[in-house]
């Protein structure tokens, strides 16, 4: 299995963001998870497209996995396409017309992701399965890093895995929230192949050691 580990910038030292990203990439991260919060859809405020543009201008060319927690979302999809996002994921609650918003992402040349909150049913996944390249299951309520993993997310991962496999489409299944070295294998066994980790990586003293332990635990899953 080709597992991807995606450190979330939310837990990085923002005064040295470029260096922090280079450090986790050097430590073995596969892509960078870029959390965008608007103090409206979620009760927190993070960073916008200017910051992604600055990182690209500074030569950071890794896969950027942009998680939009903003409402309305459509205009910012355009901004993040221009800034150099590779993957853009959106919440169904953040748009009046999910089908159109997902199409906007692909038309702009990025991969499209759909995000399910802990209390959101994945029933509509089948309706948009041909429009998405990534399904993101939230294992915390969006808005903050450092929260505890919600165990029922494992069942939601299994359900999503079944829908993805039945479609035959090439779609990543990502888990976000409360992922640590000691529960990453549980998420893999439930069907996840892409793992966001903020505080578990950036909050650790040794990024390579933390990512290596995660990979060892994934290999044994
Ligand atoms: C929460 C964000 C997450 C968060 C994860 O709204 O979407 O990506 O940064 O942080 P940890 O890994 O600390 O739970
Ligand atoms: Zn996120």
Q: What is the pLDDT of residues 118-158, one digit of tens each?
A: 999 999 999 999 999 999 999 999 999 999 999 999 999 99
Question: Contact 139/149 with Cβ under 8 angstroms?
Answer: yes
Name the residue among 49, 2, 14 with its Cα closest to residue 198.
Answer: 14
Active-site annotation holder among 38, 65, 133, 176: 176
Considering the entire predicted model, what is its pTM?
0.98
- Please say if 13 is a catalytic residue: no
Q: What is the pLDDT of residues 39-85, one digit of tens each?
A: 999 999 999 999 999 999 999 999 999 999 999 999 999 999 999 99
Nearest CA to ligand 1 atom 10: 145
Establish whether residue 174 lines the binding site of ligand 1, counting it when its CB lies within 6 angstroms of any ligand atom.
Answer: no
HSE, side-chain direction, 13 A CA sphere, residue 168: 0
For the chain, what are the domain ranges? 4-219
List, in order, residues 6 or more apart from 19 with CB less than 8 Å away: none
Q: What is the pLDDT of residues 167-191, one digit of tens each?
A: 999 999 999 999 999 999 999 999 9
Topology adopted by domain 4-219: TIM Barrel (3.20.20)
Establish whether residue 197 lines the binding site of ligand 1, counting it when its CB lies within 6 angstroms of any ligand atom.
Answer: yes
Q: Which atom of ligand 1 has the smallest separation from the CA of 67?
A: 7
Establish whether residue 91 lines the binding site of ligand 1, counting it when its CB lies within 6 angstroms of any ligand atom.
Answer: no
- Please say if 35 is a catalytic residue: yes
Establish whether residue 67 lines the binding site of ligand 1, counting it when its CB lies within 6 angstroms of any ligand atom.
Answer: yes
């Amino acid at each position: 299995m080709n597992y991807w580990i995606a450190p979330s910038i939310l837990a990085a030292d923002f005064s040295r963001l470029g260096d922090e990203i280079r450090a986790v990439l050097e430590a073995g991260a596969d892509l960078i998870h870029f959390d965008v919060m608007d103090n409206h859809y979620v009760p927190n405020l993070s960073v916008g497209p200017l910051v992604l543009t600055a990182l690209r201008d500074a030569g950071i060319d890794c896969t950027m996995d942009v998680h939009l927690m903003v409402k309305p979302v459509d205009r910012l999809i355009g901004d993040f396409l221009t800034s150099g996002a590779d993957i853009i994921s959106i919440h169904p609650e953040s748009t009046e017309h999910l089908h159109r918003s997902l199409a906007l992402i692909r038309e702009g040349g990025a991969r499209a992701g759909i995000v399910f909150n802990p209390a959101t049913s994945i029933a509509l996944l089948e309706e948009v399965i041909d429009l998405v390249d990534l399904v993101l299951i939230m294992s915390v309520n969006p808005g903050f890093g450092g929260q505890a993993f919600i165990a029922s997310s494992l069942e939601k991962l299994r359900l999503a895995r079944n829908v993805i496999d039945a479609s035959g489409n090439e779609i990543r299944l990502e888990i976000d929230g409360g992922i640590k070295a000691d529960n990453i294998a549980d998420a893999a066994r439930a069907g996840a192949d892409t793992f966001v980790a903020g505080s578990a990586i950036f909050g650790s003293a040794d990024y390579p050691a933390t990512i290596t332990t995660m990979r060892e635990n994934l290999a044994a899953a």
